[in-house]
Each structure stands twice: as C-alpha cells, then as structure tokens.
Structure 1
C-alpha cells in the first residue's frame, strides 16, 4: 500500500517555509536518490522535535517531471494554467522542485530547511525561500478566517490523495498548486466591514455565510464551489499561510487535490471566465495581486523510494 507524504494532509501549523528550487542539468540520478531520503529525514527530525509537529513535502514541477522521472507521469499533471480575463492576469512560473516545511517552531523550520537544502545543494539552486505564519486564530491578513469550512481527519485524505482506482502508480500522491498574492491592505482597511463582508461573502467575526439575500454572485467564497447554491464544493485541500513584513503583505496559497482539474476550475471562477461566473470576477482580486503561480505533483513516499535507483 502506497504511503503518502505526511505533510500533504497535515493540520495547520504556526510556521511554514517554502523553498523553490531549480535543478542543475545532468543531476537526475543524484536527485532521485536524494529526494527518496527526504521523507525519512523529516520523520527522524519530527521525532527528535516531537513538540514542534513537524511535517514536510517534496513536490516536482510539471515542466521538470519528465526529466526526473521519464518512465511515468501523472495523467493530470499540466503546467500552471495561463488564463486571462479582460481585466486580470494570473501569472505562471516554472520551478523544478518545491520543499514545504511546516511546524510550530520557526527554529526547527530553519534547521530542517538547512539540512534539506544541504542534501540537495550540489544539484540544485535556490530560487526563492518564502516564509508564512499563522495569523491570530487562523485568519488571512484581510482579517477573515481562512477556509472556515476546512475538512478534518480522513476527509482531508479523500480530498487530497489519489487512490489506486484513479492512478495506481501514483496512489497517495497529490496535485499541488502554489500561488503568491500581495495584498493592498491600505485600500482594504479603508473599506467598512460591511463592504469587506460583501466581497468575501461571510461574516468577518465568525466566518459564517452571509444571508442569501445579501450574497453577491461575484463574492470570493463562491469561487470554491461548482454551483451557486453551495452544494458542490471544489475538491481542494488548502494550506494557505500569510506572509508579511512592514513593507509588503500577502498570502501564500497552496492547494492539494486528487482531482487534477479542480484548481483550474477554481482559478476560472476567480477570473470570471468559468461557466458559473458570468456575473464577473472575484472582487477580492481588486485588493490582491498574484505575482507567482506554479504547478507540482507531490508523489507518495513509495514512489520516491521505488524510483530511487533508476
């Protein structure tokens, strides 16, 4: 039975580090061997720092997959979707590898990031390191609860992990999409709470839906559903984390899914080019701008170990 990477379905942590890496040409054999060691190394460090609730994920970029694992490719692994509306653009980027490290201790994150990078360093270059943190009681920097209806326990596995029936070779793997949004908090904070709630579609205090008579068709929260009646939520397991300093603030948006099409449906809804978004684009995008977007696949531990020596 395939074993998933434990960080895919892990519950929220206080701190997150995200390393975007590009591989040096000709290092595929070395990288396959090193990547296969990462889950065991993270597990050992998680045992050592047991109070930190450490988890990690290694994911391979859509454009690099065939170079690293030419013998097999997840059926739905595609580059980040390039979609344009008349007013908005979601930029697409290509990175070879993503390392996600989360725990309740920033010092542990640093130590793990250092060790994982050293493990891969002869064969990769670090393009960017991003840090996220838990804000208040799980809120975005807009002040609203992030994913107030997020599923728990086994339901997370059902959303995120491929089954043997779907793709036998990639069971317990997950399609991963990453975006980085920069918020214009000065403009956002000038809005009255009632206007903010109309844009999000929820109460700011508790995350509950606004009454149907007040719900705008282009509100942010409806983008997560396949129908306007909120009966069919998109199968996305999000692990978002805010990032901030005194100059810039925003959100690192990560979603895992067993459905390779779910993220594109979501982004179409946001841009107003989806079938259900004839009323317009997600109005939250007037106050935040994506500057990075990339597609990855997080294979199972079993897959990494199986291809270690090939």
Structure 2
C-alpha cells in the first residue's frame, strides 16, 4: 500500500509562528472543506516569492467537528481533550474544531498566510484562540530555559509522530495537543537559579540535564512496556505582551498516538508516585487544552472534492471516496 504523504509536521523548527484555534459555525462545513483542500496551494502561493522564508502550515480537525466534515470511520485515537483536575492545578478542556499551525522564518509570512486563510473562512468560523509565537534568545522559553531539547529527529521523529499500519485508513496522519500556559514571571524570577534548575531538571546556562527527582524533565520522560522512551515532537513557542504583563508558552505536541502526550500531562497535573504535581505548574497556568487529528496531506486535499463536483450539498465526504479519488 502506498503511504499517503503527511502534512509538514516534521518541518524543522522556525523562528516565528501563528496558532489559530477555530470553531466551525453551523453551515460552515463546505467553506471549511474547500479551504482545507486548498491549504497547501495557498501556502505555496504566499511563500513562492520568499523561498528562504520556510513557510508551512499544518491543519488539525477536532473530535466534535470530524463527523461534520468527513463521513465514515474516525481516527482510532480521536477524542475530546480530557480535562485534568489535580490536587492543586487543572488542565482545562477548551473549544476547538480546527487548528492551523503556521510557521516560518519571518513573522510577516505567518501573518500573510493567516490573513489569507481567515479571509476565506470569514463567516464560517469563529476564533477560539489566536497566539503569535516567536523564538526567544537562544531557543529559550520565557522562564529562561532551552525548550525542545529532547525532540526526536530524522527517522525517530517520523516513527514517533506519523501513523502507520495500526490505523491504515489514516496512515500518514498524526495527533496534536495544544495548550496555552501563562507564566507568573515575577514569582519565578524571585527563585534562586539553583531552585529553578531543580524544578526543571536542567542547568539554566548550559542546558545539561541534572539528577532532580520529580523534576519537569523526569515527569515528562515516558517509557513503554519494552523500557524504551516514548517520544513526541514539540514545537513550543514563547508569546507575550510586555505592556499588559502577559507572558507565556504555547505548548504544541505532535504524536503518533495521543496516549503519550496524555500520560505526560497526567504526570504533570496528577503526579506520579510520591510526586504530587510538576512544580513548574506553581508558576505556569494552563488556560486552554484541545486535541486534534492531523490528516495526511492526501486526505486533506481530497476534502474539497464534493464541493468541486458541484453537488451543492453540505454533507460530508466519505473515507471510501477519498481512497478512490
């Protein structure tokens, strides 16, 4: 069986990004399907004159909207984001039917593509969340630590992220969880650097991992039954507004199954063994949480076939139709 081409989830990290989380209005499904089918072409048009801009876009579909857009089977792991309520901290579930993850080497390219997308979707969707991300200093988050160190690369990244024979109708796809965290930087910066390092599990200056039981690094290290580490691909971005005093990290984690990211979050919010929670949550508050399925590029492009055929119907397109197109 020919493996469907994935969306550019494995693209190298960039210096700028735009995250759009949208809800689809009743009756807006045909407009959304047509946009998703044209998404790769729209990205090529905007980015054509700027080959060094590395512009890309990844689209994800939420559980509540999947059946409105696609008929037939559902991706095996697609479900609403599962809210977590720990003894001290909460990971909320928030609305989201579509995720558009736009990234580039320049913020103006993200802005341009985002503007084109929203002009096509205007009147068919509502914006649930919009975040402009940027690279901070030498790949650090606003807490001052290097982020994304443990990302897999090459074949390991593809194996960690892209669905294979375990769900053949959706091979080449992936799952993605997004959360927006707001930081209390005043309280964080009052901590001695050594205490910050014990909470994170790394040296702040050198990024070298240290032995710190219950640290953020330790709680996010997940192993399978075979003892091998289970990985996800993060493309987290800092965001903020100095004038309003808002500082945060937009977490985005791609994986072959949402179970891996969900286990990491359970460890963070509900604890693991004697550890009650990730101590970084004492300074970082999750304010959003949504899970999406990222279809293969082939499946995404075929979503507009029904509208192109001129049926004029608002019904969804079947997986069988996608495979035979």
Which TM-score applies when normalising by structure 2?
A: 0.88
5 Å matches for 1:35-114?
A: 35-114=36-115
Cα deviation for residue 134 of structure 1 reads: 0.4
Q: Measure, in 2, the Cα distance between the counterparts of 1:272 and 1:138.
A: 28
Over 3 Å counting, the alpha-carbon distance change for 1:156 and 1:47 in structure 2 is farther
The 3-state SS of whatever aligns with 1:261 is helix
5 Å matches for 1:280-299?
A: 280-299=276-295
The match for 1:177 is 177
Contact 1:235 1:258 in 2 (8 A): no
Q: Measure, in 1, the Cα distance between the counterparts of 2:53 and 2:19.
A: 17
Q: Between Structure 1 and Structure 2, how many residues are aligned?
A: 300
Tell me the alpha carbon deviations over residues 12-62 of structure 1, each in whole angstroms, 9 at most, x when there is no partner: 111111112111212323322221110222133333211111111111112
The match for 1:200 is 200
Instruction: Name whichever of 277-286 and 73-82 sits farther off.
Output: 277-286
Q: Measure, in 1, the Cα distance between the counterparts of 2:295 and 2:28.
A: 19
Tell me the alpha carbon deviations over residues 102-156 of structure 1, each in whole angstroms, 9 at most, x when there is no partner: 1111111111111111122242222332111001111111111102222223322
The match for 1:252 is 250
Cα deviation for residue 94 of structure 1 reads: 1.7
The match for 2:314 is none
- Unaligned ranges ≥5, structure 2: 307-316, 318-325
The match for 1:209 is 209
Q: Measure, in 2, the Cα distance between the counterparts of 1:32 and 1:141.
A: 37
Q: Measure, in 2, the Cα distance between the counterparts of 1:30 and 1:149.
A: 39
Q: Measure, in 1, the Cα distance between the counterparts of 2:56 and 2:155.
A: 17
Which TM-score applies when normalising by structure 1?
A: 0.92
The 3-state SS of whatever aligns with 2:30 is helix
The 3-state SS of whatever aligns with 1:26 is coil
The 3-state SS of whatever aligns with 1:157 is helix
Moved over 6 A (4+): none
The 3-state SS of whatever aligns with 2:179 is strand
Q: Measure, in 1, the Cα distance between the counterparts of 2:230 and 2:204.
A: 22
Tell me the alpha carbon deviations over residues 60-93 of structure 1, each in whole angstroms, 9 at most, x when there is no partner: 1122112211322101011111121121111111
Q: Measure, in 2, the Cα distance between the counterparts of 1:57 and 1:299.
A: 9
